[in-house]
Amino acid sequence: DAGVIQSPRHEVTEMGQEVTLRCKPISGHDYLFWYRQTMMRGLELLIYFNNNVPIDDSGMPEDRFSAKMPNASFSTLKIQPSEPRDSAVYFCASSYGQGSEQYFGPGTRLTVT
């Protein structure tokens, strides 16, 4: 398997624009996680899905952030409108089963100017 795939790897956008980050989990994994990494706050869990259903979105910063998982092989994290403070590296991870190892994608580095 190619591992967790994220696109784009880098995104530079202007404040106010919509940003969509994409993730393809490892085939067969039933959990998918979105994290955000910043120097100030470290790694934060934003939201996670089980069998395509959002289970806990308490880490989503505000209504500007939304995530979907229309099928088992694809998820999106959308920010609309984007702000400079959203600049971070966003990671997607997937796992199989309860409490098992999470496999991380390479991340998307987002810069909002």
Task: Show the tokens assigned to 76.
Answer: 């999106």
Could you tell me the two tokens for 23? Answer: 């993730």
Q: Does 91 bind another protein (CB under 8 A)?
A: yes
Q: Interface residues for another protein in 35-74 (CB under 8 A)? A: 42-43, 45, 48, 50, 55-56
Residue choice 23, 77, 93, 112 for contact with another protein (CB under 8 A): 93
Token output for 63: 């209504």
Size of the residue set binding another protein (CB under 8 A):
20
Tell which positions 71-90 bind another protein, by CB under 8 A: none
The whole-angstrom separation of Cα 14 and Cα 29 is 34
**Distance between CA atoms of residues 24 and 36, nearest Å:** 17
Distance separating the N- and C-terminal Cα atoms of the chain: 36
- The interface region with another protein, picked from 16-24, 60-68, 71-79, 95-103 by CB under 8 A, is 95-103
Query: How many angstroms separate the Cα of 21 from the Cα of each of 28, 86, 96, 99?
Result: 21, 13, 22, 25
Of 10 and 85, which CB lies nearer to another protein in the complex structure? 10
Q: Residues in the site for another protein, rule: CB under 8 A?
A: 4, 31, 42-43, 45, 48, 50, 55-56, 91, 93, 98-99, 101-107
